[in-house]
Amino acid sequence: MVTPDGRNVIATSGVADVKTRGPVSPDGYLRIASQTKTFVATVVLQLVGEGKLSLDDKVERWLPGVVSGKGNNGRKISVRQLLQHTGGLHDDYVDYTSEDDFSEHRNDVYTPEQTVARAMKHHPDFRPGKNWGYSNTGYVLLGMIVQRVTGHAWHEEVRDRIVRPLGLEHTFWPGTSPKLPEPHAKTYQRFKPGEPLVDATEQVGQGINGEAGLVSTTADLNRFFGALLAGRLLPPAQLAQMKRTVGISKAFEPLMPGAKDGLGLFSHPLPCGGVYWGHEGGDSGWITNTGVTADGRRSVTVSMTGAIAESPDHVLRIVAAESKLLENALCPTPTNSN
């Protein structure tokens, strides 16, 4: 975590490998999965601030004919709705169901066009702007829009606009490589109760097209989210837009109690008052979550490997533990104040 006086504090627990029992490295690499969405949203809002894009632009303007069929209509979905998960687009992402399924598909690679085309085989989940539903498809489209506007891939814009200016030396897009640089902890997945642990460390992951895909470290994530909330990456008008929230769905509420969704950024209530901002990411075996106070001065990233989500109840217990760690770090108390 980063304390208000700028100190970096890192705590580790457990082991990095269940066989060797080696210690967890404090600067280990990890796949940040959906935390990538906040990086993409920041690039989009920078383009808005530069007048190259509008939040009210419809998808059809930048990607003609891409969102169509089965009732999907790119003329009715705005960039803002993609950012805020209110566009109604269906996700065609299937979780691995078994060790055999994981082994067969762990390194499957899909282009952005293929991912969107899969979604277009489904009717929308709801009419644009009429509900909220977490949509990886929407962020794949945002990555495609960034490329159309700038002429560069989304991850190149993230590198040039965020990673290099902030000096995030351990944050990058690995492309289709299933490997992580050293050091890193191994991670494990159990697909059904009672089954053995499966080493899930090497995988491409569910997505690499803007909905997910970046590799980073907890220190780099703290620096990024802290800089974002401190106003170092976006003009005030665009940061204010990012923090304009809507409610999430009832189905998502148990996973994110009290959360509201901005543009690539969620707010969460703090037990000590006020809110913190951040985003979670998860792939098979990994869960990472970053929270930062509204002024960007105090931030914390929690990364868990071996997050064995073998049942809905297990998932809720993981979420509760993760949230408690974030809240304890962000609320100034006699035991953690500075």
Count, in order, helices (H) and strands (E) of the chain: 11, 12
| Residue pair 85/245 in contact by the 8 Å Cβ criterion | no
CB 126 within 8 A of CB 88: yes
Q: What is the Cα–Cα distance from 182 to 15, expressed in whole angstroms?
A: 15
Number of residues that this document lists for the chain? 338
166: number of CA atoms within 13 Å, CB side?
25
CA gap 61, 184 in Å, rounded: 42
From CA 22, how far away is CA 305, in angstroms rounded?
14
- Count other C-beta atoms under 10 Å from residue 61's C-beta: 16
Beta-carbon contacts of residue 38 (< 8 Å; ≥ 6 apart):
224, 225, 228, 264, 265, 279
Please state, as a whole number, how many other Cβ atoms lie within 10 Å of the Cβ of residue 269.
Answer: 14
Residues 6+ apart with CB under 8 A from 328: 336
For residue 257, give the nearest of 201, 84, 45, 249 by alpha carbon: 249
Q: Which residues are part of the catalytic machinery?
A: 34
What's the CA gap between 329 and 177, in Å, rounded?
34
